[in-house]
Amino acid sequence: MKKKSLSFLIGGPAGSGIEKSGQLLATTFVRGGYFVFSNIEHFSLIRGGNNFLRLRIDELPHEVHLEEIDVMIALDRRTIDEHIHEVVNGGVVIYDNEVVKLDDTFKAKNGVLMLNVPFRKLATVDVGSAITENVISLSIVLGLTGFDVVGLKQVLSKIFSSKGAEVIRANEKAADIGYEIGKKSEKEFNVGLEKKKGNGNMFLCGNDALCVAAIKAGCKFVGEYPMTPSSSVLHFMAKWADKYGIVVKHTEDEIAAVNSLIGAGFVGVRAIAATAGGGFALMTEGIGLAAMNEVPIVVVNVMRPGPATGLPTRTEAADLRQVIHAGQGDPIKLVILPGDPQECFDMGFLAFNLAEKYQIPVIVCYDKYLGEGYYTVPAFETDGLKVDRGKVLSEKELAKISDYKRYLLTEDGISPRSLPGMRGGIHRATSDEHNEYGEIFEAAENRRLMVDKRMKKMEAALSDMPKPLLIGDKNADITFVTWCSCKGACMEACELMKNKKVKANVFQIRSAYPFHKKEVAEMLKNIKRPILVEQNHDAQMGGLITEQTGIIISEKVLRYDGRPMTAKFIVDNLKI
């Protein structure tokens, strides 16, 4: 019987190419018409340790991994020891005993096929290229599942197109060798995957999606300092800098990064920096500067467990308070919270428009699981997207203004802006409190007016902020209230709850500041039994909801062990 979904785990020491293997296999299945979700769990080191990548291949889209494993590729003994209990009855473990060295101490699990293949020897002797070892192991999987090997070969020749015919030939040979081996065991592993028609979906991570949005939105300046799990934004933008004419600067630190964005924003260039909590802390003063001088910038915080270094390569969503309250004084910034790659794209694009429309720093905040997790999503629709530069004056318009005031007091707090280089628009932007001209001015009445001006922009921006979303059946017995990637686990938990005859749905909060208090309050009043699902100790979103609406949600499922939220975790921790 053909299966409709499979769950893979590829594990081994850091530096053994797990990520690349996973990409190859995933891309092959995505091109073959499947939805693949992939997440990697790694230690913060370059060599050794035990890293593993999970792939979930399904006919339907999912945004969370499964804890059960159908196929394991083990590149070391530790992977087998630590994960064999997760392999299902009828599952298979593919390994090279020359490398893994299972001895008498190893007890096989009943119903699990142990497939020992000397892929290291095959790669060096039969193919003549040691690095094709991983391709052999992957193509065994294709043989086992009855999937054909053509798709993998296409992916290989695309990836290695710049490396020459010899490299492609070696990899194709490796693919054939592995495939034949897998094919022989296909009958023992009687859960082949049906071959489907490709549907043009993309396989990408949340950070990638955000980058596509940035490029589409016309971002031309990146000032960033590497920090896991945000660095792929810097790498991605650097990779495309040439093609799209983007200045990508790896700065000396995050303080330089945020201040360089402000310089770019001041002269009229859309600019972005991504970071994680520690780097965001260093950017805090600069975010306040952008707020005070009314400069558009976009800062992304990809959350990882803190405080301090914390768990650098793991996931958590505990920076909600940090991003809202970053900086002294009343918070003047917009904080948006995507929960999947489509939202990273939509809200990433929106972030640039809002930054310029409201002349304000915009923070996009999501967790590592989304930032570095790979999802299968339909190709982004870009036709309807409109770049909104906000109130930027032209020299012609400036010529008609005899007394230009950069910080003119207006109804909505937004003042038409001029850019350096424009005749007639000369002004000073000043981090001190200033008057309408931008001159330092300490008068009490002026201070009150200027504080009000900046806060008015926040009020005006609320209508443009992503609204909370009710996902699933409207009439549910329980509602998971959540934000960021936890949404995926919650949606899956709704499915599991069906087995318990409980109707569940998800209420996703997508803006943190300003907060849609009216919509959230109204929705919560109609919810029978809300349950907070968050990846932090204090239920930070729950706290924010209470602060903004007065509503207390007492039931909670919280995970803060650095591991991603799963549907199973939610269901296991529910008191139902």
Whether the Cβ atoms of residue 56 and residue 65 lie closer than 8 Å to each other? yes
Q: Is 153 in the site for another protein (CB under 8 A)?
A: no
Span of 125-133, 179-187, 236-244, 307-315 interacting with another protein by CB under 8 A: 236-244
The binder of another protein chosen from 16, 51, 171, 251 (CB under 8 A): 251
Establish if 248 lies at the interface with another protein (CB under 8 A): yes
User: Would you give the binding string for another protein spanning residues 290-309, x where CB under 8 A is met?
Assistant: ---x----------------
Contact pick of 44, 185, 430, 446 for another protein (by CB under 8 A): 430
Interface with another protein (CB under 8 A), residue from 101, 184, 325, 428: 428
Residues in 6-35 that interact with another protein by CB under 8 A: 30-31
399 binds another protein (CB under 8 A): no
Phi and psi (nearest 5°) for 320?
-60, -50
Question: Per rule CB under 8 A, is residue 427 in the interface with another protein?
Answer: yes
What does each C-alpha distance from 354 to 130, 363, 390, 531, 547 come to in angstroms? 51, 11, 8, 31, 25
- 243 near another protein, rule: CB under 8 A: yes
CB 249 within 8 A of CB 272: no
Q: What tokens appear for 55 in the block?
A: 């792939």
576 binds another protein (CB under 8 A): no
Residue 513 contacts residue 289 (beta carbons within 8 Å): no
Residue number, 97 or 431, with CB nearest to another protein = 431
Residue 245 engages another protein in binding (rule: CB under 8 A): yes
Residue 43 interacts with another protein (CB under 8 A): yes or no? no
Q: Smallest distance, Å, CB 253 to another protein?
A: 7
CB-side neighbour CA atoms (13 Å) of 358? 31
Written as one letter, the residue type at 206 is G
SS3 464: helix
In this structure, the strands spanning 271-275 and 221-224 are: parallel
Among 125, 399, 426, 443, which residue sits at the site for another protein (rule: CB under 8 A)? 426
Q: How far is the CB of 137 from another protein (least distance, A)?
A: 24
Residues 262-291 that bind another protein (CB under 8 A): 262-271, 285-286, 289
Q: Which residue from 424, 472, 543, 562 is in contact with another protein, where contact means CB under 8 A?
A: 424
Q: Is 250 in the site for another protein (CB under 8 A)?
A: no
Residues 253, 281: Cα–Cα separation, whole Å: 12
Under rule CB under 8 A, residue 221 binds another protein: yes
* Pairwise CA distance, residues 37 & 24, whole Å: 13
d(CA 231, CA 226): 5
Whether the CB-CB separation of 567 and 493 falls below 8 Å is answered with: yes
Which region, judged by CB under 8 A, interacts with another protein, from 380-388, 444-452, 518-526, 540-548?
A: 380-388
Question: How many of the chain's residues bind another protein (CB under 8 A)?
Answer: 72
**Which residues 6+ apart lie within 8 Å of 298 measured at CB?**
214, 219, 261, 270, 271, 272, 273, 348, 351, 352, 355, 361, 362, 364
Stretch that binds another protein, among 122-130, 243-251, 361-369, 504-512 (CB under 8 A): 243-251
Q: How far is the CB of 569 from another protein (least distance, A)?
A: 29
> Of the listed pieces 419-427, 448-456, 505-513, 553-561, which binds another protein according to CB under 8 A?
419-427
**134 φ/ψ angles, rounded to the nearest 5 degrees:** -70, -35
Contact region for another protein (CB under 8 A) — 6-14, 172-180, 248-256, 506-514? 248-256
Is residue 142 within 8 A of residue 192, CB to CB? The reply is no
Residue with tokens 């991605």: 236
Nearest of 43, 75, 53 to residue 7 by alpha carbon: 53
> Closer CB to another protein, residue 423 or residue 575?
423
Rounded to a whole number of angstroms, the minimum distance from the CB of residue 298 to another protein is: 13
Phi, psi of 225, rounded to the nearest 5 degrees: -120, 135
The distance of closest approach from Cβ of residue 483 to another protein in the complex, given in angstroms and rounded to an integer, is: 25
Among 429, 462, 521, 558, indicate the residue that binds another protein (CB under 8 A): 429
Q: Cα–Cα distances in Å, from 40 out to 221, 373, 394?
A: 29, 7, 49
Minimum Å gap between C-beta 395 and another protein is: 9
Token pair listed for 359 = 């002349």
Q: Is residue 37 within 8 Å of residue 63, measured between CB atoms?
A: yes
Query: Residue 471 CB, nearest distance to another protein (Å)?
Result: 24
Q: Is 501 in the site for another protein (CB under 8 A)?
A: no
CA gap 445, 305 in Å, rounded? 43
Minimal distance, residue 252 CB to another protein, in Å: 4
Binding mask 461-500 for another protein (x = CB under 8 A): ----------------------------------------
User: Which phi and psi (to 5°) does residue 140 adopt?
Assistant: -60, -40
Q: Are 483 and 510 in contact (CB under 8 A)?
A: yes
Interface stretch with another protein, choices 161-169, 246-254, 497-505, 534-542 (CB under 8 A):
246-254
Provide CB contacts within 8 A for 462, sequence distance 6+: 514, 516
Taking the complex as a whole, the smallest distance from the CB of residue 311 to another protein amounts, in Å, to 28
Binding another protein (rule: CB under 8 A), the pick from 80, 174, 246, 490 is 246
Q: Which C-beta is closer to another protein: that of 218 or that of 562?
A: 218
| Closest distance of CB 416 from another protein, Å | 16
**Shortest CB 270 distance to another protein, Å:** 7
168-207 residues in contact with another protein (CB under 8 A) are 200-204
Applying CB under 8 A, which of residues 232, 259, 505, 508 lies at the interface with another protein?
259
> How near is the Cβ of 307 to another protein at its closest, in Å?
24
Are 441 and 433 in contact by the 8 Å Cβ rule? The answer is yes
**Which CB atom, from 157 or from 185, has the smaller least distance to another protein?**
157
Question: 396: which residues sit within 8 A by CB, 6+ positions away?
Answer: none
Two structure tokens written together for 235: 């790498």
Q: What angle do CA 64, 561, 301 make, to 5 degrees?
A: 70
Query: What does the angle CA 32 – CA 492 – CA 497 come to, to the nearest 5 degrees?
Result: 135
The residue from 43, 160, 380, 560 that contacts another protein (CB under 8 A) is: 380
